[in-house]
Each structure stands twice: as structure tokens, then as C-alpha cells.
Amino acid sequence: MSHCNVPALIEPQVEMGSVDEAENKTLFKLEEDAKQTKEASLMEQGSLSPIFPQHITKSPKNSVLKSIKIVILSNKLNLLLPFGPLAILVHYMIDSKGWVFLLSLIGITPLAERLGYATEQLAFYTGPTVGGLLNATFGNVTELIISIFALKNGMIRVVQLTLLGSILSNMLLVLGCAFFCGGLVFHQKDQVFDKGLAVVNSGLLLMAVMGILFPAVLHYTHSEVHAGSSELALSRFSSCIMLIAYAAYLFFQLKSQSSSYSPLEQETNQNEEASDEDEDPEISKWESIIWLSILTAWVSLLSGYLVDAIEGASVSWNIPIAFISVILLPIVGNAAEHAGAIMFAMKDKLDLSLGVAIGSSIQISMFAVPFCVVIGWMMGEQMDLNFQLFETAMLFITVIVVAFFLQVGKVAFKIDNGNLEPTTDGDLCMYMQEGTSNYFKGLMLILCYLIVAASFFVHEDPQQG
């Protein structure tokens, strides 16, 4: 960190006398000791996370009708919920695959958003660290359920393309919209995010690409020791390694790097008074768990009809299965992440936006993809990491592009009320290496996603089914 023309900010006040100064220091020390004692007591009781201090959450007591009103009737997107039962009726009465797929797709959209809401409510009782993990898990549960149903039906390519599409959607569309919307709201400055988390996330994404790239390279170079079996064995071994790496990443994130959550702590302290209503949960912990169970079961039911209708919809609409799997399905499944990332970016909480978008991509690439390989292994399906040359190249280039957009730059900061704030004033500032974003970067990511979507629209998958 280099400094530029920083004058002395604090001058010693000798005239006040040593007695008053000693009294002030003593009072300050007593207040700090009392605060530390209170936090230690709360931590022993389990009500305060050692990683992220939080206020004591008051659990609301809602009746069944009020809980239904809050979860189901409070969101206009839930007007799409009747499309789910309608898809089931069409399946048994008309058996039109195109209509069943379309209605199921629309019906799952509000369910994915409500899953995100219920997870957010549960996060009030688990703390933000565990809550962030829950949000990433249940934010991707739609893709996981669809993938498992497709895997059960032997549709390995649909599984691979759906998971690939979810990674591309999160990295390009979700993150791009977050950068774009946040940049428009704060167009007078560059938004800043933590460089350390960005570097770690980029490294994990590159590791995921390596795990997916090598089986494809082995296949297309015809250099297998045992033709047909070495590729599958490598995929299963790499999947186990990727699952171990993801477990280590969770431990690193939740335990070893607790200091990385300090920006979240500062944001919460600054906004706690202004947004008390937003900081209180609307439903209780057990209500959140029950609603998560109900919504997950309903998503599972609709996913079965959705997967059964994919091939029929592709024929009736004359649209490639690759486009349906890579573009249409992930947009629906990522509805919760999409809304959350944009909302955080518009509140100048870019670290949270990155956590949602890139964190979700990491979980799919490092957990969901190898998990499906292992589940397929148990089912007797030859699910591997060979996503074919076109798809693997698309993923590799996307990760490289996003990694370049997440690279750090030199940002000028000033001291404002004891906090570091970005500034354009060169007379009183200090420079730090931080990640920056603006609406132009967001627009470029969105345009890259449009190129990806157009590529899959004209791409004929050599191994459909």
C-alpha cells in the first residue's frame, strides 16, 4: 500500500492535561472489556457466531394461515405457481410434450425463488456463514434434482449440459447483471470487492476446468491405456479429488478465513439502524425448515415431468436439446441467485454478489458435477467428466474471461469517520490493490453470455440422449 500526500490526521493535545487523558483511556478500556465479556457470553450460549457478530434474533410466532400468506401470497412471482399443477393435468389429458415442458418450466420458476427466500429466513437463525452455505446449496437444489432425475432416466448428456449451463449462467449472466445494475446505481465510482476472495474463487474455477478438461483431452487424443475405460476411471478419480477439494474449501472458508467476513460485519453494523425491519425474520426456524421441505418436494415432482418432456419439446419446437439444457433450464434454476446478486450489488455489497454468483458456480463445478459422477457410478450409469470438445472449450474460455474481469486494480481510498472509503480525490488518499467493477464490465459479461447462447442454439450435440 502506497500513500499520496497524507497529512498528520491526529495531533497530540498536551494542553488537556494528563489526568483527563488517563480517565478517558480508563473509561474506553472498561467499555471494551464489557463488550468483549458480553460477546464471549453470547458465544457460549450459541447466539453469536465467532465469525460474524449478529444481533439476537427474535423468532416470530405465526399461525398456519399467516405463514402461508407470508410465503405464498406476498410475492407477485407466485402468480406463476398454478402453472405447475396445470403441467401435470396437460401431461395426463393432452400429453403434449412441448406444453408440459413449458408449463413445468414456468411453474418451477417461483419455486426456485421461494427456496431462496426460505433459505434466507433460515439463515437468520444459523448465522450468515452457515446461511451463505445453505443459500448456495438450496439455490442449486433445482439443478441437482433435475440432474438426478435425468441421470435416473439415463440422460447423461442432459445432466452434463444442465450443470454446464448453470455454471455459465452464474458466471456470465448473473454476475454480469449484478455488475451492470450496481454500476448504474453507483455510476459515479467504481464498486470495490475483496481481492483475496476473488483470487481464491478464480483458482477453484480453474481447478474445476482442469478436472473436466483432462478426460476430454484423453478421449480426443486417443491416448487411453484401456480404450473406453480409462476415461471413465479418470473421471471418477478426479471427481473424488474435486469433492475433497470442495470440502477443504468449505473448511478454509468457514474456519481458517474468518477474517474475510469482516467487510460483511462492517456493512451490517452500518446498516443495522437504517434497516431494522429487513434484519428481522418473517417466519420461525421450524417454519423455514418445513417450507424448504415442501418446496423441495414440489420441485422434485415437477422436475420429473420436466425431464420426461425435454426430448419431445426439442422435437416439437425444433430447438436443440443442448440449447434447452444449457440456456433455458439454468435461467429458471438460477432465478433466486439472479435476484439476490442484483439486489446486493444495488446496495453496494459487491462481496455478497460475488459470493452468490461465483460461489454458486464453484459449488456446481466442484460439488454438483463430481457428485453426479459418483451417483451415476452407484446407479451403474457411465457418467463421466468428458463434456465433449465444444462444451469444454466454452467453459474454459468463460472461466478465463471471468478471471480477467475479476483481476485486481489500484484503488484510491480516504479515511472518512474512521472507515476507508473509495475516493477520486488525489490530495488526501492512500492506494490499495482491490477488485473493481462498473456497469461496462457487467455489460461485457452479459454480451458474452449472448454469444454463448447463440453458439448453443446453432450447435448440434453429437451425443444426444
**Going from the N-terminus, what domains does the chain have, and what CATH number goes with each?**
71-258+283-414+429-458 (1.20.1420.30)
pLDDT at position 280 is 76
Q: Angle at which helices 350-363 and 195-220 pack, to 10 degrees?
A: 20
Distances (CA, A) of 287 to 60, 122, 195, 281, 283: 10, 9, 37, 11, 6
What pLDDT, on a 0 to 100 scale, did the predictor assign at position 230?
87
What is the sign, positive or negative, of the torsion defined by CA atoms of 122, 123, 124, 126?
Answer: positive
Q: What is the pTM of this model?
A: 0.74
The pLDDT of residue 410? 54
pLDDT tens track, the chain, 465 positions: 444 444 444 344 444 444 444 444 444 444 445 444 444 443 333 333 333 334 445 667 777 888 888 888 888 888 888 999 999 999 998 878 889 999 998 998 888 778 878 877 887 787 656 765 676 667 677 788 888 888 988 889 989 999 999 999 999 999 999 999 999 988 887 888 877 777 888 888 999 999 999 999 988 888 878 776 888 999 999 999 999 998 888 888 777 655 444 444 444 444 444 444 446 788 888 888 898 889 888 988 888 888 888 888 888 888 888 899 899 888 877 776 777 788 888 888 888 888 888 888 888 999 999 999 999 999 988 899 999 899 999 999 999 999 888 875 555 555 565 555 555 554 545 444 567 888 899 999 999 999 999 999 998 877 654
- Predicted local distance difference test score (pLDDT) of residue 112: 79
**Residue 194 CA, distance from chain mean position:** 16
Q: What is the pLDDT of residue 430?
A: 46
Residue pair 177/338 in contact by the 8 Å Cβ criterion: yes
| Cα 388 from Cα 216, distance rounded (Å) | 6
